Amino acid sequence: MGASNCKETPRQKMIGMMYLFLTAMLAINVSNEVLDAFTIIDNGLAKTVRTFEEKNQMIYGEFKRALDANPTKVQTSWDKAIGIQGLSDELCDELQNYKLELVKIADGPEGRLDSIQKKDNIDVAAQLMIVGGKGKELKKQVSDYREHILELIPEKDSIFKHAISETLNTDNPPKKNPDDPAYTWESQQFAHIPLVGAVTLLSKLQTDIRSVESDAVKYLFNQIEAESFPFNKLKAQVIAKSNFVLKGDSYEAEVFLAASDTTQNPRITLTRGGEIKTFDPDSRRGIYKRKETELGQKSWGGVVYYKSPSGSVTPYPFEAEYIVSEPQVVVSPTKMNVFYKGVDNPVSVSAPGFTMDNVRATVDNGKLIRDGEGYIAKPQIVGKVANILVEGRLDGKWRRLKTVEFRVKPIPDPVAMVAGKNGGSINKNLLAMQTGVDAVMDNFDFDLKFKIKSFNVSTVVQSYTRDEKSNSDYFTPAQLKLLKGLRKNQKVYIEDIKAVGPDGSIRNLPAISFKVK
């Protein structure tokens, strides 16, 4: 039996178990900076949800007063609005339960949303939402809610219907190539994402639900007046493509009157000055667009002036809010926090809010090769930092998201061993049973092998030093004869040990000395 095929010793088995443990731990090495950013965003989203809930209550209050004044005219629309309210509350409560369940799985029964302990846990979201099937249930709940809202809106308001469909889109991501795996909506949302990121995504979904609820109920309320007399009680309305904007991107929204006159454009002025002069020719809706360079929650508004059939001009003020966030990128080596030259270094790259086919990464020291859902890093220059550039595709264009640095180190030397020992006392019979010398990677997390190329065995025989050389990892017959002739307390030396690594480099290893017992 060759030296490289020796049965694993208990020490080697222990090292293997340590490797599996460290791999699991280091694979979730998400930086505190990223986790803190998620927490900040989630807090902002929670405030936005409360703001929407307060505004929605004001709308329901106006609706109820109209119902009391004219039940015959308002009852049908009121019933639809109350139905939307019930479904919205139920779905938002369910989303809150999902968030709490995720935290309790990670932190234990005492886990709390306001003090998440294991923010960087990247297993619990997939465990509950994908493997546990909760993501599929959530997808159906959101789809059912969206379809219920869309059924209340007539086809003539197709732009409004489209905006709602986009906000609550649950379609599976399209394949880039026919041979690509088929990803689901739930895997796109919850795979490879830390716990705090999953909680943030669910909070964003709560924001979208409350936003759609607000738009839909305001639409129903405005249609009451539009059906009788279009311009006796108008309200300005804003529909944004998204209330969540990345830094450097543009926030875009439509500002329009729920019951409009196709013969004229309203005049729209902004609170901070200026006027909207771009209108959709078919819907008569003003288009507001602003490039954002600062982070945080933003508010904007203005006044819509509309000329009635009598010629009088009536102002209709409006307000809207959205959030500008720093692009969030997670780049983590799946084995350790450095790269080693001469081995394949697995790396996972993800950017919350982007599907895998809309994220790409490159490195300036060596190569970064796509491997399934991750990458393999092959650094070139030891001692030089390897910078990984992550880019995301937005609106068909690639833009820089973030650059992450990694140190590059050489593969450490292996340890020469015989019978699982690298020196000390050894039983003569155990030593005589060995077939050669092994090169063992001690406490190294990569599964790679060095092979002994040559070594010398020397001992003192009748006051003379006997030297025998092997040009492989096996003991030669002459060396085995020396080993079998050893006496109690006699010392034997294995020296000039050379090993060759997977990259072809030759390593000179420290000598081994044994004392026969």
Is 387 in the same domain as 487?
Answer: no
The answer to whether residue 216 is domain-embedded is yes
Distances from the Cα of 456 to the Cαs of 6, 495, 508, in angstroms?
Answer: 20, 5, 12
The DSSP output letter for 474 is B
Provide the domain limits for residue 440.
3-11+412-516
Measured over the CA atoms of residue 178, residue 180, residue 186 and residue 189, the dihedral's sign is negative
Asked if 206 and 351 sit in the same domain, the reply is: no
Query: Does 501 map to a domain?
Result: yes
Q: Which residues contact 502 (CB under 8 A, 6 or more apart)?
A: 342, 343, 411, 448, 449, 450
Question: Residue 12: its pLDDT value, please?
Answer: 43
Within a domain: 16: no
- The reply to whether 203 and 70 lie within a common domain is yes
H/E segment holding residue 459: strand 451-461
Residues composing the chain:
517
Residue 20: inside a domain, yes or no?
A: no
Q: Three-class SS string for 396-409?
A: CEEEEEEEEEECEE
The Cα-based distances of 396 to 211, 240, 372, 392, 399 in angstroms read 27, 20, 23, 10, 10
Question: What are the respective helix, strand and coil percentages of the chain, to the nearest 5?
Answer: 40, 30, 35
Give the model's pLDDT for residue 82.
92
Both tokens of 31, joined, read 């930086």
Distance between CA atoms of residues 198 and 352, nearest Å: 9
Q: For residues 406 and 478, state if they share a domain.
A: no
Spatial distance between the Cα atoms of 211 and 478, rounded to a whole number of angstroms? 84
DSSP 8-state symbol, 71:
H
Q: Is residue 116 part of a domain?
A: yes
Q: What are the residue ranges in the chain where pLDDT is below 50?
A: 1-9, 11-29, 227-233, 309-310
Do 360 and 282 lie in one domain? The reply is no
Q: What is the pLDDT of residue 212?
A: 92
Using alpha carbons, list the distances in angstroms from residue 31 to 37, 83, 333, 458.
10, 43, 12, 52
* Residue 205 near residue 95, CB atoms below 8 Å: yes
* 19 in a structural domain: no
- Residue corresponding to tokens 């969206």: 146
Q: Looking at residue 339, which CATH number applies to its domain?
A: 2.60.40.10
Question: What are the CA-CA distances from residue 495 to residues 469, 487, 488 (Å)?
Answer: 9, 20, 21
> Last residue of some domain: 390, 410, 430?
410
Tell me, yes or no, whether 338 and 376 share the same domain.
yes
Question: Which tokens belong to 223?
Answer: 């249609």
Do 270 and 195 lie in one domain? The reply is no
Q: Does residue 381 lie in a domain region?
A: yes
Rounded to an integer, what distance in angstroms lies between the CA atom of residue 108 and that of residue 493? 55
- What tokens appear for 199 in the block? 């909680």
94 and 142 share one domain: yes
Amino acid sitting at position 378: K
222 and 240: one domain? no
363 and 243 share one domain: no
Contact in structure between 513 and 423 (CB atoms under 8 Å)? yes
The answer to whether residues 419 and 442 touch, using CB atoms and an 8 Å cutoff, is no
| Domain co-membership, 199 together with 271 | no
DSSP assignment of 221-281: HHHHHHHH-TTSS--EEEEES-SEEETTSEEEEEEEESS--TT-PPEEEETTS-EE--B-T
CA atoms within 13 A on the CB side of 87: 21
Which one, of 110, 1, 59, 40, lies nearest residue 328 by Cα?
40
pLDDT reported for residue 184: 87
Do 157 and 36 fall within a single domain? yes
Contacts of residue 448, Cβ cutoff 8 Å, sequence gap at least 6: 343, 411, 441, 501, 502
Cβ-contact 316, 222 below 8 angstroms: no
Residues 6+ apart with CB under 8 A from 212: 88, 146, 149, 164, 167, 168
Count of the separate structural domains present in the chain: 4
Encode pLDDT of 245-289 as tens digits: 666 667 777 776 655 556 567 788 988 777 887 887 766 678 888
Cα Rg of the chain (Å, integer): 34
- Which of 272, 306, 326 is the last residue in one of the domains? 326
**Pairwise CA distance, residues 226 & 234, whole Å:** 8
What CATH number should be reported for the domain holding residue 275?
A: 2.60.40.1930
Question: Which of 4, 19, 1 lies closest to 442 in space, CA to CA?
Answer: 19
> In angstroms, what CA-CA distances link 515 with 422, 423, 490?
12, 8, 6
CA angle 53, 57, 60 (to 5 degrees): 135
**Which residue, of 228, 255, 289, is where some domain finishes?**
228
Classify residue 149: in a domain, yes or no: yes
Candidates 414, 330, 390, 424; CA nearest to 3 is 414
